[in-house]
Structure 1
Amino acid sequence: MMIYPYIKALHIIFVVTWFAGLFYMPRLFIYSTEAGEKPAEERDILRAQFAIMTRRLWYGITWPSAILTLVLGIAVMFMGNWDAILFKPEGRWFLIKWLFVLGLYAYHFSLQVIVKQELAGIFKFSSNQLRLWNEVATVFLFAIVMLVIVRTSMSLVWGMGGLAALIIILLLAIRIYKKFR
C-alpha cells in the first residue's frame, strides 16, 4: 500500500484547518476590540467569552494544524522527491511557494503575539487595523494555491501582478465596508 497519497491528503486537510484558524482568529480580535466600546459590564462579559474562544481556537486547532501542516508538508516534499528540484529551474515555483509558506508562518507568529496581548487585556490595534491584518492570510492562500496548481504555466510577472490586483481589491473592499458600516 502506498502511503504517499494519504500523507498528502492529511497535509491538505491540516492546511485547511490551519487556515480556518488563521481566518477566524483576527475576527475574534476585532470582536474583542469592538467590545471595548460597550458599557463596562457588557465589555467584560464579551471579552471573557472571546478569550475562551481565542484560547480554544488558537491552542486547540490553529497551532496543532500549523505544526501538522509543516511536518506533513516536509514529508510530502521528501516522499514525492520535490526536494530534488527545489533549486533547479523547474523547481522555481516550489522555491517561491516555500518563501510564501515562510511568510505565512511569520504571519502565524504575529497572530501569536496578538493572542498573548489580548489574553493579557492589552488591545493595541483598532478594528480597522485588524481587518487589514485579517486579509494577509487571504493573500498568502491565493499565492500558495496558484503556485501549486498553475506552477510553471504562470510567469512571475503575471503572478505578482495578479497578487497586487488581489491586494488592491481587498483594500478597496475593506474601504467600502468601512464606509457603509
Structure 2
Amino acid sequence: MSYLYLKAFHIFFVVSWFAGLFYLPRLFVNLAMASPGAEYDRLLLMARKLLRFMTPLAALALATGLALWLGFGIAGGWLHAKLTLVALLVAYHGYCGKLYRDFANHGNRKSHVWFRVFNELPVLVLLAVVILVVVKPF
C-alpha cells in the first residue's frame, strides 16, 4: 500500500476513533444525571455499543500509525511527543471502558460535572497532536 493511501486510512481511523472519544464521555454525563430506569438502560446500551464500535477503530488507527512509523521511517522529536499523547489516549480509552463497567454495575461515584471536565480531555490532546504533526516544532 502506498504511503498516501496508508496515511489517508490512518487519518480516517483516527477521526472515527475520536468521534467515539468525544461522544462516549458525553453519554457518561447523561448517565451520571439519570436515575435507574428506562432512560438509564437506553443510555447504557448506547454507551456499550459505542465502546464496542470505537475499540476496533482505535486498533486500526494504531496499526496504520505503526505502519507509517516503521514502514516509512517517520522520525523526529515531535513524533516522541505524539506517541506519548497517543499512549495517554489509549489509557483514556481504557479508562472509559472501566467507567462504562462502573455504570453497568451501578457503581459510578462521579458527578456529571466531573464527566463534563473529563469529556474535554481528548479535545485538548487532539489539538496538541495536530500541532505536533503539522508544525513539527522539534
TM band (smaller chain): over 0.9
Residue number in structure 2 paired with 1:78? 70
Residue number in structure 2 paired with 1:127? 112
1:54 aligns with 2:54: no
1:139 aligns with 2:115: no
1:40-92 Cα distance to aligned partner (Å, 9 max, x none) = xxx401011011111111102x101111111110001122211xx3xxxxx11
**How many percent of aligned residue pairs carry the same amino acid?**
36
1:107 aligns with 2:92: yes
Residue number among 67, 71, 79 corresponding to 2:59 in the alignment: 67
Residue number in structure 1 paired with 2:5? 6
Structure 2: distance between partners of 1:79 and 1:4 = 9
Structure 2 counterpart of 1:65, which letter? L
Aligned length: 138
Deviant stretches of 4+, over 3 Å: none
Structure 1: distance between partners of 2:40 and 2:90 = 27
- Select the structure with the greater relative contact order (CA < 8 A; seq sep ≥ 6): 2
Residue number in structure 2 paired with 1:148? 133
Q: Which has the larger radius of gyration?
A: 1
**Alignment partner of 1:114: what SS?**
helix
TM-score (norm 2): 0.94
- How far 1:95 sits from its partner (Å)? 0.8
Residue number in structure 1 paired with 2:38? 45
**Alignment partner of 2:110: what SS?**
coil
- How far 1:122 sits from its partner (Å)? 1.8
Unaligned runs of 5+ in 1: 37-42, 86-90, 156-181
**Alignment partner of 1:125: what SS?**
coil
Structure 1: distance between partners of 2:52 and 2:109 = 21
TM-score (norm 1): 0.73
